Amino acid sequence: MARNPAGSVCRRKHRPRPPEQGDLLRPRLVDLIDLCHELVRLASLIDWEFFEREWAGFFPSTTGRPATSPRLVAGLLYLQHAFRLSDEAMVARWGKNPYYQHFTGETFFQHRPPIDPTSLTRWRKRIGEEGVEWLLTKTIDAGRASGAVAERSLEQVAVDTTVMEKAIAHPTDARLYERARAQLVDLARAAGVELRQSYARLAPRLAAQVGRYAPCQAVQAHAQGPADAQGHHGSRAARPAPSTR
């Protein structure tokens, strides 16, 4: 069985939920929702007992507070991924959406959050990649059972990529000119070429000055900055010293 990577808090295996008894004052969710809804149909196709059995191995302790129901967490993780919700948004919407509650195994509509949003983070640490792969596997099995996923479509896998924003500097013209100037100077020194002037002091100061021009209204000065940098890049820094012979 898989080990517990989350470490510090001891949790023992969850307690199986007893079957809900009828309540004359509260209607069941199946009487309030559309049984043809996609989440209702998907909930009936997923083997939820698989998570009850397999995820129990992530809680080997025999003491401590019982863990949250794996059916609830598996449903929340699937909904969170399908609708691209944060932990806080997922828990908040669960309390307002009867289809979410039915998907996670509730019988009656609940007005209180099922868990704290931080519990989803701890669960992801506990189940790791292996637990997420199980969730994906059971989702694919449900698609095959419903006919939404054809057998021939699994013979070939298409790998796609998504562009993610990163905290990197924007490659402006002035910055590129400065990098080209510095690289040319390094290449000249490595080749033993003596330069009359390398602009090691002036060029960085000019690049910083262009950065200050950009957010203001000095459009003309901003356009002139890269031109000056280009002149420094293409004049003396790129020309070797004249021969003294």
The structural domains of the chain, with segments of one domain joined by +, span: 11-154, 173-238
Q: Is the pTM of this model over 0.85?
A: no
For 127, other C-beta atoms within 10 Å of its C-beta total: 25
The residue whose two tokens read 């590129």 is: 176
- For the stretch 202-236, pLDDT in tens is 888 887 777 676 665 545 555 555 555 555 555 45
- For the stretch 88-131, pLDDT in tens is 999 999 999 999 999 999 989 999 998 999 989 888 888 888 88
**DSSP count for the chain of H helices, then E strands:** 9, 2
61 three-state secondary structure: strand
